[in-house]
């Protein structure tokens, strides 16, 4: 297998809202907030659902990789409930091998309310449910050992059981990649993430804000210096400024595509990572891999949701 993803198994519920919905509900635009089941249901009660999809950040990347013709798998925890069944079916339809046997749990399958405002920004309210309770017993060691790369998400990292699951996956990986996921994640787990980046991971994905926060800097040149000293492969998206890949002393940049009709930024980072990892496992150069990333993310932001087809 080319790539195994391990992440939050979350059913995305996509809704369009006006800007005042965000402010009225005390949300911060373009971020992800963790909510409990009651708040989730309250927010959803007044909205019209556009679509539901088997989501989660790494799961979106893995589906993108599958659509590019790569043999991929996914581990993520769901309950044996209606949404859990839909989640598994949604992945199988995309030719993703699902390495998790669901069972009856106390908590329901995780859900993420994705609120799209008229400016195409997405604000997420996530009820993790059972997804956030992943533990080391949920990690199929053979699946990890049989894949060229294990791809993890920062969203999943937390003290206790998730950390043990992470460590088990990394220790058994041929190559470990991770997305820093979200500015709040980086700020909450900064020391742990720095340790992962410096000592345990081979490939790191981040956006500019996350990378600056990780090294407590306001200057992107310092991020480039940090990346060169790392000796790993670090790939950073910079919005309109394009993207950059840093591997030892090799620094490669790629411009963003212009004049796109942007509809929804959901999945932009996830599909960017899919494009890059596709290039990486198929022996493309850093430049070609960044170009593939840019092509994938440019396509996804011109439609609703995080699925290309």
**Domain 3-7+57-105+129-300 CATH superfamily:** Ribokinase (3.40.1190.20)
What are the sequence ranges of the domains in the chain? Answer: 3-7+57-105+129-300
Residue 264: predicted pLDDT: 67
pLDDT tens for 128-171 read 999 999 999 999 999 999 999 999 999 899 888 999 999 999 99
Positions in the chain short of pLDDT 50: none
**Could you tell me the pTM of the whole model?**
0.89
Query: In sequence order, what are the residues at sequence separation of 6 or more whose Cβ sits closer than 8 angstroms to the Cβ of residue 209?
Result: 183
Contact yes or no for 75/142 (Cβ under 8 A): no
User: 230-251 burial by CB neighbour count: b if 16+ within 10 A, else e?
Assistant: bebbbbbbbeeeebbbbbeeee
């Amino acid at each position: 297998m080319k790539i195994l993803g391990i992440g939050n198994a979350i059913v995305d519920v996509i809704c369009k809202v006006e800007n005042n919905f965000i402010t009225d509900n005390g949300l911060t635009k373009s971020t992800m907030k963790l909510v409990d089941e009651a708040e989730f249901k309250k927010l959803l009660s007044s909205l019209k659902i556009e679509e539901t999809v088997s989501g989660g950040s790494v799961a979106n990347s893995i589906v993108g990789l599958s659509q590019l013709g790569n043999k991929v798998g996914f581990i993520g925890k769901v309950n044996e409930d209606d949404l859990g069944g839909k989640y598994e079916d949604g992945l199988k339809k995309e030719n993703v091998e699902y390495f998790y046997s669901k069972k009856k749990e106390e908590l329901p399958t995780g859900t993420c309310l994705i609120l799209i405002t008229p400016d195409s920004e997405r604000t997420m309210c996530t009820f993790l449910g059972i997804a956030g309770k992943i533990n080391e017993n949920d990690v199929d060691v053979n699946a990890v050992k049989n894949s060229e790369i294990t791809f993890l998400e920062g969203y999943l990292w937390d003290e206790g059981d998730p950390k043990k699951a992470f460590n088990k996956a990394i220790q058994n990986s041929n190559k470990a990649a991770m997305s820093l996921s979200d500015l709040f994640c980086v700020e909450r787990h900064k020391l742990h993430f720095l340790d992962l980046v410096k000592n345990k991971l081979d490939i790191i994905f981040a956006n500019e804000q996350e990378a600056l926060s990780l090294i407590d800097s306001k200057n992107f040149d310092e991020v480039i210096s940090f990346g060169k000293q790392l000796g790993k492969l670090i790939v950073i998206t910079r919005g309109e400024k394009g993207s950059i890949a840093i591997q030892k002393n090799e620094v490669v940049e790629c411009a963003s595509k212009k004049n796109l009709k942007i509809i929804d930024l959901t999945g932009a980072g996830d599909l960017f990572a899919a494009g890059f990892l596709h290039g990486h496992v198929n022996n493309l150069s850093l430049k070609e891999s960044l170009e593939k990333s840019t092509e994938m993310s440019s396509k996804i932001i011109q439609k609703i949701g995080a699925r290309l087809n």
